[in-house]
Amino acid sequence: MRTRAALLALALGGFGIGATEFVAMGVLPQIAQDLLPNVWAASSEQAIAQSGALISAYALGVVVGAPTIAASVARFPRKRLLVIFTAAFTIGTILSAIAPSFELAVVARFVAALPHGAYFGIAALVAAQLMGPGKRGQGVALVLSGLTVANVIGVPLITALGQQSGWRVAYLAVTAIFAAATIAIAFVVPEQQGDAGATIRRELSALRRGQVWFALGIGSIGFGGFFAVYTYVAPLVTEVAGLAESVVPWTLVAVGVGMTLGNFAGGVMADRGSLRAVLQLFPIFILAMTGLALTASTAVTLLAFLFLVGALASAISPAIQTRLMDVAGESQTLAAALNHSALNIGNSLGAALGAAVISAGLGFIAPSWVGVGLAVAGLALALVSWAVDRRTTAAPALA
């Protein structure tokens, strides 16, 4: 029971992170109208595209914070670190909610994101130890389950709250989740010592390994396809499919259910071979995004393909994280955190490229085609990684 409660507390932290990261997608039009009123008056499309910078700023914060924080704190007790991280999230999200201007909101989102990768990295190591041998991928998936469940329950509900009461109220609700996670972790997660032999130099030594960079590239580029789609899901629903704004939260539920189911399936697949899982999942991911781009104007197919895109993207995530841990040697803390740097480079890349094609006048379906291209590039990198492994080992490596 203590182990189960600890895993739930870790997942609650992930739930808060999922809410703070993804709620912006659902209330992006409200943020654009409030913080960029002059741009909105001239062109709502341009204002929404410009507001994508908030999502890119959060992603950049993860990219910067994950390796620097994780490498610096690997030797410290893990429970204490998790409490500090969730407390920092609480403060950062409050700053996001009260930011008086667009520029300060961008800065606040960057600051709020700094502990993201380190939290998931440390939490994944704690969960893997609690789960026991042979279940590392499932431990990673359990921690990530908070993030995916947030997309089923938290993000849609908080999006609806933001649409009714304002986007600032939505972020205050996220603040309350982080405060609850801080208390839960402090009370129910058992003490775990850090890696006493860890040093910044040893952790960073993982970056000398070619397969680490391949894994990071797969996550950064391939997973960017998901964010090219998900960042602009609100206008995809209202402008392309012609549905009411009230449908947006239900669309987010469909994506979130897909992400939750895909996450657990991906954890099981990762335990059977992380690179194998990546190679199996990416082709289906590409097909799902192609289907979305071709049929997004119809409500039923829009929801169906968004469900599939969410499921497949989420299944890929624990596979990439497990792959990083497989190839990083002793640098396990850094490897577990770097996955989130990679995924948030993808977040920033997908959001930025999506904004570029929208600003170019190509419409709100164009980001889905950007997503297809990024996923194809991710699959190509995975194939190169497998080929390099095959040449440097006695047998083909699909671990």
Residue 398 lies in a domain: no
To which residue do tokens 């993982």 refer? Answer: 206
Which CATH number is 103's domain given? 1.20.1250.20
Q: What's the domain count of the chain?
A: 1
The confidence score (pLDDT) of residue 281 equals 94
The confidence score (pLDDT) of residue 173 equals 94
pLDDT (tens digit, 0 to 9) for every residue of the chain, 399 residues total?
A: 777 888 889 989 989 998 888 788 778 888 988 998 888 888 887 888 788 788 878 878 888 887 788 777 777 888 899 999 999 999 999 999 999 999 999 999 999 999 988 898 888 888 877 776 666 667 777 777 777 777 778 888 898 898 889 899 999 999 999 999 999 999 988 887 766 666 677 777 767 778 888 888 998 898 888 988 888 888 888 888 888 888 887 888 888 889 888 988 888 888 788 888 889 999 999 999 999 999 988 889 999 999 999 999 989 988 887 888 788 777 767 776 777 778 878 877 888 898 889 888 888 899 999 999 999 999 999 999 888 887 776 544 555
Residues 6+ apart with CB under 8 A from 103: none
Q: Give CA–CA dist 240/218, Å, rounded.
A: 30
C-alpha to C-alpha distances, 277 to 201, 385, 397, nearest whole angstrom: 31, 13, 12
In eight-state DSSP terms, residue 361 is: T
- Find the domain containing 376 and state its range: 2-392
Residue 259 lies in a domain: yes
Tokens of residue 111, six digits: 């600051």
The confidence score (pLDDT) of residue 196 equals 64
The confidence score (pLDDT) of residue 121 equals 80
Residue 399 lies in a domain: no
What DSSP assignment string belongs to 107-175?
A: HHHHHHHTTHHHHHHHHHHHHHHHH-TT-HHHHHHHHHHHHHHIIIIIHHHHHHHHHHH-HHHHHHHHH
E runs forming strands in the chain:
none
The confidence score (pLDDT) of residue 3 equals 78
Residue 312 lies in a domain: yes
CB 262 within 8 A of CB 198: no
Q: Give CA–CA dist 194/328, Å, rounded.
A: 17
What count of residues does the chain have?
A: 399
- Of the candidates 276, 253, 127, the one whose C-alpha atom is nearest the C-alpha of residue 192 is 127
CA angle 344, 247, 39 (to 5 degrees): 60
Residue 169 lies in a domain: yes
